[in-house]
């Protein structure tokens, strides 16, 4: 069965109350149990530092009367576990980048929780919406890895994500979701667990894309982005516990998310139109979701139902945040960075 059909089945199961659609076949359970025991001996061997707090105002040098409000939700990757400096967290990187592009201050609030699965998003959204200021201008959600490792049913996972996106959109917030990363890139994981982890991750990421787009959000694929680059440089891209990204890994992910984050607020210099030179296209949502997981940094945003726009935005280098509450981005937007798609086309099955 094609990835698009599997993703559509999972999304449909979530919408209509199905709860039994899994990501892996029962026949693989015996092999998986043996491989998991081997992986546990290597993964998490080091102790990842707790995520540093990054809440506060970024881009104070800009004089706009009303700052943009950015919120991060999700798991340990959204929280920034694995790095020691505030400026290395994805929240600080995205807030600084958004301030530089929009030329406005940005107030960041991060409610992500290390170890969270998608069923924790309801609590995180309620926490955000209960604030006196109300809904943020834009929310970034990074979730999915724990859903796979904790064997949360795929239909339940995407149902929880869809509900969170719907609540945030109803409250007036733009939503960008970094879909489930490719767990097949974790270095100590051996075959066939590596293949199964990759398959499960990509199936979940495609299903996440479908439900997010249907609720009016945008997605950015992190799977393949954290695939070849992480596989080629595992010592640089992974942290001390061999599981969470390092500072370089978080910067790579944030650089992929930033263009879509800015486009959702209408401050990115590129228009939402198809650029055939970058192999962009208008596809049915399920097909676009299946294509997006093949290459990291691919954005999927809704068009006229049931169609979606598949985009490969050019990235920009991120400014260096100075710290929480007072990080100062560069006075001008950073120079363009050529998209990885201009250099290579990834078409892994």
State the greatest distance between any 2 C-alpha atoms of the chain, in Å, as a whole number: 61
pLDDT at 341 (0 to 100): 40
What pLDDT, on a 0 to 100 scale, did the predictor assign at position 233? 53
pLDDT at 225: 58
Task: Identify the top-confidence range among 4-8, 28-32, 43-47, 69-73.
Answer: 69-73
Q: Omega before 9 cis (within 30°)?
A: no
Name the nearest CA neighbour of 255 among 231, 226, 290, 289.
226
Q: What is the mean pLDDT of residues 257-264?
A: 96
pLDDT band at 37 (very low <50, low <70, confident <90, very high): very low
Q: What is the pTM of this model?
A: 0.80
Residues 35 and 183 sit within 8 Å (Cβ to Cβ): no
pLDDT for the residue 285:
94
Q: What is the pLDDT of residue 343?
A: 36
**Confidence band (pLDDT; 50, 70, 90) for 187?**
low
Residue 256 tokens read as 């992929």
**pLDDT, tens digit (0-9, with 9 covering 90-100), for 266-284:** 999 887 888 888 889 999 9
Annotated catalytic residues are 76, 241, 244
10 vs 165, higher pLDDT: 165
- Structure confidence at residue 241 (pLDDT): 47
Mean residue pLDDT across the chain: 78
In the three-class reduction of DSSP (H, G, I as helix; E, B as strand; rest coil), residue 27 is classed as helix
CB 102 within 8 A of CB 68: yes
pLDDT tops 50 at residue 44: no
Stronger pLDDT, 148 or 328, i.e. the higher one: 148
Nearest-5° angle of CA 183, CA 301, CA 77? 30
User: For residue 329, is pLDDT > 50?
Assistant: no
What is the per-residue pLDDT for 239? 42
Q: Output the pLDDT for position 304.
A: 84
What's the average model confidence in pLDDT over 151-167?
A: 94
pLDDT score of 339 more than 80: no
Residue 15 neighbours by CB distance under 10 Å: 15
Average pLDDT over residues 53-66: 89
Backbone angles phi, psi at 4, to 5 degrees: -60, -40
Q: Are strands 281-284 and 307-311 parallel, antiparallel or unpaired?
A: antiparallel
Q: Are 252 and 225 in contact (CB under 8 A)?
A: yes
Query: In terms of pLDDT, which residue wins out, 210 or 36?
Result: 210
- What structural domains and CATH numbers belong to the chain? 3-18+42-343 (3.40.50.1110)
Residues 6+ apart with CB under 8 A from 188: 38, 39, 41, 42, 43, 242
**Which of 4-13, 180-189, 224-233, 270-279 reaches the highest mean pLDDT?**
270-279
Residue 250 has pLDDT above 80, yes or no: yes
Q: Which comes out higher in pLDDT, residue 159 or 346?
A: 159
* Mean pLDDT of the 309-335 span: 60
Q: Is 226 helix (H, G, I), strand (E, B) or coil?
A: coil
Do residues 289 and 232 lie in contact, with contact meaning Cβ atoms separated by under 8 Å?
no
Q: Report yes or no: 78 and 140 within 8 Å, Cβ to Cβ.
A: yes
Please answer whether residues 209 and 162 qualify as being in contact, where contact means their C-beta atoms are separated by less than 8 angstroms. no
Q: Which of 6-15, 52-61, 97-106 has the lowest mean pLDDT?
A: 6-15
Whether residue 111 has pLDDT greater than 90: yes
Separation CA 139–CA 257 (nearest Å) = 12
Please determine, for residue 54, whether its predicted confidence score (pLDDT) is greater than 80: yes
């Amino acid at each position: 069965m094609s990835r698009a059909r599997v993703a559509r089945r999972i999304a449909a199961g979530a919408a209509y109350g199905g709860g039994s659609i899994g990501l892996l076949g029962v026949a693989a359970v015996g092999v998986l149990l043996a491989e998991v025991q081997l992986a546990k001996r290597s993964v998490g061997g080091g102790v990842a530092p707790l995520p540093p707090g990054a809440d506060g105002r970024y881009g104070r040098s800009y004089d706009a009367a009303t700052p943009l409000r950015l919120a991060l939700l999700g798991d340990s990757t959204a929280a920034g576990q694995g790095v020691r400096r505030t400026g290395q967290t994805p929240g600080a990187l995205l807030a600084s980048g958004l301030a530089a592009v929009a030329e406005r201050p940005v107030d960041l609030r991060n409610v992500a929780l290390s170890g969270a699965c998608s069923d924790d998003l309801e609590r995180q959204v309620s926490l955000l919406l209960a604030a006196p200021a109300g809904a943020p201008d834009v929310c970034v959600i990074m979730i999915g890895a724990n859903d796979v490792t904790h064997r949360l049913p795929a239909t339940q996972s995407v149902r929880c994500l869809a509900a969170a996106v719907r609540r945030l959109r109803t409250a007036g917030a733009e939503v960008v979701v970094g879909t489930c990363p490719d767990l097949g890139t974790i270095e100590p994981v051996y075959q066939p667990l590596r293949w199964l982890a990759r398959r499960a991750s990509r199936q979940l990421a495609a299903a996440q894309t479908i439900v997010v787009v249907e609720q009016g959000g945008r997605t950015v694929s992190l799977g393949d982005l954290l695939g070849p680059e992480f596989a080629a440089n595992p010592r640089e891209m992974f942290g001390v516990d061999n599981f969470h990204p390092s500072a370089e890994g978080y910067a790579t992910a944030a650089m992929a998310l930033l263009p879509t984050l800015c486009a959702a607020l209408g401050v990115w210099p590129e228009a939402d139109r198809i650029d055939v030179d970058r192999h962009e296209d208008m596809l049915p949502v399920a097909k676009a979701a299946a294509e997006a997981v093949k290459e990291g940094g691919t954005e999927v945003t809704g068009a006229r139902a049931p169609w979606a726009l598949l985009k490969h935005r050019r990235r920009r280098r991120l400014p260096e945040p100075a710290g929480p509450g007072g990080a100062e981005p560069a006075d001008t937007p950073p120079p363009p960075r050529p998209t990885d798609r201009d250099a290579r086309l990834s078409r892994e099955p």
